């Protein structure tokens, strides 16, 4: 089994399309998404593309869970706001049920790597924060009881590759909202771990995103497509959220 892993698309359909074009040239058996697929400028269009993928499996992110809650009439306090409410209001019942079908974690055997566990935040929570700077002791707590050689997470939008005891922990980075460097980030697993960055026509993508009715579309195009937050700004944000 050889796997392409993507994460944190956040409704950035142009970035997803560019990554999928690159993935199509790889000899992979499966695509696995580590969550947060639709909360962004083009939520419904992004979900339509993802539903059409053959041999794809999906881990639930905290934003995916919140979109389902919003559709159902409830809301997660940490993700409320008019921009998020708009995303959930765009969903069809089919979109909602697709998001609700996502797994909390996925475990499969990958060539050359052994058992690989895919999650969003950590194996035990879709909100816990794992980064390149998270203290090893804290990572050990997040990984306690994990029966896998490799753990792949998302949530923090920054690639990293660490070893904690016997477990290798990686984040492929974000397809749609990267920190540190523009582009779309993903990875190929099997038999090695290969980090990838896909560049795409970001000015054209920004123009496409600005046409969205999403209230935050202009800001997203400016600050997450044409430019991106620095690693230090991202780490400061994550620290306030309970990280790094």
Contact 129, 244 (CB under 8 A): yes
**Total tally of structural domains belonging to the chain:** 1
Q: Is the pLDDT of residue 55 over 70?
A: yes
Contact 116, 30 (CB under 8 A): no
Q: Domain for residue 13, yes or no?
A: yes
What does pTM read for this prediction? 0.96
- Looking at residue 35, its pLDDT comes to 98
- Looking at residue 241, its pLDDT comes to 82
CA distance 133 to 162: 10
Termini Cα distance of the chain = 32
CA distance 221 to 40: 10
Q: Can you tell me the mean pLDDT for 30-40?
A: 98
Q: Any idea which residue has 């409704």 for tokens?
A: 11
- Looking at residue 101, its pLDDT comes to 99
Q: Is the pLDDT of residue 244 over 80?
A: no
- Looking at residue 80, its pLDDT comes to 65
Other Cβ atoms within 10 Å of 223 Cβ, number: 13
Q: Domain for residue 31, yes or no?
A: yes
In the numeric block, which tokens belong to residue 56?
């794809």
Other Cβ atoms within 10 Å of 222 Cβ, number: 13
- Centroid of chain to Cα 19: 13
- Looking at residue 84, its pLDDT comes to 86
- Looking at residue 192, its pLDDT comes to 98
pLDDT, tens only, 85-138? 999 999 999 999 999 999 999 999 999 999 999 999 999 999 999 999 999 999
- Looking at residue 61, its pLDDT comes to 98
Q: Any idea which residue has 């035990």 for tokens?
A: 124
- Looking at residue 77, its pLDDT comes to 64
* Domain of residue 182, CATH code: 3.60.21.10
CA distance 49 to 203: 21
Q: Over the range 113-142, which residues count as b (16 or more CB within 10 Å of their CB) and which as e?
A: beebbbbbbbbeebbbbbbeebeeebbeeb
Question: Would you tell me the crossing angle of helices 13-23 and 202-210 to the nearest 10 degrees?
Answer: 140
Q: Domain for residue 148, yes or no?
A: no
Q: Domain for residue 56, yes or no?
A: yes
Q: Domain for residue 150, yes or no?
A: no
Q: Domain for residue 87, yes or no?
A: yes
Q: Domain for residue 138, yes or no?
A: no
Domain region containing 209? 3-110+171-235
CA distance 50 to 44: 10
pLDDT, tens only, 163-210? 999 999 999 999 999 999 999 999 999 999 999 999 999 999 999 999
Q: Is the pLDDT of residue 45 over 70?
A: yes
78 pLDDT band, cuts 50/70/90, is: low
- Looking at residue 243, its pLDDT comes to 78
Q: Domain for residue 73, yes or no?
A: yes
Which residues on neighbouring strands pair with residue 230, listed in sequence order? none
């Amino acid at each position: 089994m050889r796997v392409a892993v993507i994460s944190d698309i956040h409704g950035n359909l142009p970035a997803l399309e560019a990554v999928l074009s690159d993935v199509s040239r790889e000899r992979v058996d499966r695509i696995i998404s580590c969550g947060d697929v639709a909360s962004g400028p083009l939520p419904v269009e992004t979900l339509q593309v993802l539903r059409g993928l053959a041999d794809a499996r999906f881990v639930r992110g905290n934003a995916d869970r919140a979109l389902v809650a919003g559709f159902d009439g409830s809301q997660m306090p940490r993700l409320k706001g008019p921009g998020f409410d708009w995303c959930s209001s765009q969903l069809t019942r089919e979109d909602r049920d697709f998001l609700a079908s996502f797994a909390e974690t996925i475990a499969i055997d990958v060539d050359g790597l052994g058992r690989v566990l895919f999650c969003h935040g950590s194996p035990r929570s879709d909100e816990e924060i794992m980064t390149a700077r998270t203290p090893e002791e804290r990572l050990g707590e997040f990984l306690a009881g994990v029966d896998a050689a490799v753990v792949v997470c998302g949530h923090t939008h920054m690639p990293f590759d660490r070893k904690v005891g016997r477990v290798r922990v990686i984040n492929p980075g974000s397809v749609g909202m990267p920190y540190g460097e523009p582009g779309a980030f993903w990875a190929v697993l099997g038999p090695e771990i290969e980090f990838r960055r896909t560049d795409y026509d970001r000015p054209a993508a920004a123009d496409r995103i600005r046409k969205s009715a999403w209230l935050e579309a202009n800001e997203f195009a400016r600050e997450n497509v044409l430019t991106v937050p620095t690693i230090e700004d991202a780490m400061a944000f994550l620290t306030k959220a309970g990280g790094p």
